[in-house]
Structure 1
């Protein structure tokens, strides 16, 4: 197979921008494959433990309920062995809590960790995240923020501090005020009060880490949790996976929003091209041949919208979800 040329700068930037969306697409794909089931006994047990923890004020370390273990066990679904985190889900334990929000962590085989959050006794499937010291880019903070569907809903944020110099943590709201966040061996859970939650729902806030001298050593912007206007891109594309395998892409579908476009062209990493005419409204669907379905796990493909004269009017890149995991872990070809 001929190695494709380096991506143009603007397409490389698009690939980086698409990484969070691709990660969410992979989670959503797995989320649709399983039903939500409430395990009453587990929830009662978790509630009892949380009540005990509340009474003591500091008790942590109990084992994760089955819903959390199940979610953690799915983080590697459909990925090859070399890209897996392999969290020790049976030993996942509570590491931080605030009110009815409890954060659980499981160690990975390479010294990293995976996190999942339980709020009011409920877990949102597909929300477990992992971080490893061997990843290409380890953020200062690994953060989980459950979506809040109303401005009056509690704003919960949880995670772990990865920057070793951080001795204290605060959340800085948009009005400039700060709220301290308690750390438990580097882990944290914070539930904002209603007035702060309403502000964080509408406007971005910032996590700020300070060292022992109170100097700022790490910052991370937190997006608002409320509904934000969706900016329509020139090409909206989604990969179609082969079953649960995140390394194989059977097709690409989506919509072209650029005026003048009449068809799309997908250039695969080996140089082959696939073409499809746009349907009414700009919709399209391209089917990738069986022999080429693993190509997008090693390199992205370029998707171009062209006009009636064959001139490019917009382009983007598409890739298998496993390629984004490989980039995260610094293991791209």
Structure 2
């Protein structure tokens, strides 16, 4: 096990390098880099229209932001344009910029945002509590609901309970989480009916003045609607996965043998079936957590005015804030790889018979 963990940890390094390199190459091919963005602002144009980019490219620009040549730009002094390129580091070649970025990341220095006047690390730490709150509680509640429900459906397969719950789950799966969020605001956050919950923010304005109990209640009061929207829109897959895993195990010979020996239903289900059926569920935990943590909560953050990592990464990509884009990408990828490793290690906690050394062999 220890040798396997060491190998996996060492494998994280080339994996991170490959992901950063691939995304760096893709970004170079994307039009409208930070230099174009700044020139467009200085010339009074919206960079999203691409008007300024077409005026300043001069026909001699390299694809994307890398190494762009702004000869022929109108309305701005070429010296000013060169100063902007130097300010954003685009006076250097793409390989040189990538190498400088890697050296900085090796020291966990993600640089400074182009447009926010703040260190990328500070921005990530500032937005992290919102994303952790949404991802952690949503995933936890989703598993607490889906696993017991999936087991109940498996043991009552074909019954009216199974049919009705399946219908409700499919309806929840068919409606996107952001539509549930809008509906919850309309119903319970002062939209048209009740004002039982806040519609924005993670805490109240007087949060610092509350007692410890008051802070906890205020925190969960603000999270109630966002987490409900995320859970309703995401727990269907896990529920059906749990049900199908248990159904597959229940039909195997060792279960028939255990029942023939006179073991009770609960003893068969939780003493024998549970350990084998849960392996597949555990395998999906990292992707479920990372999916809600980083991507699934983006629209929820926007709807409920929660300033988290999803919104930060989205705005950085739109504005071509490359230090923030690559800083968040590095953190997302690293955390995803670590969580995946933790998921593999958890296999052995559920079933000690698993031997990673023999699997590698």
Q: If the TM-score is normalised by the length of the shorter chain, which range does it land in? A: under 0.3
The structure in which a higher percent of residues are helix is: 2
TM-score normalised by the chain length of structure 2: 0.19
Whose Rg is larger? 2
TM-score normalised by the chain length of structure 1: 0.21
Q: Which has the higher contact order (CA 8 A, sep 6+)?
A: 2
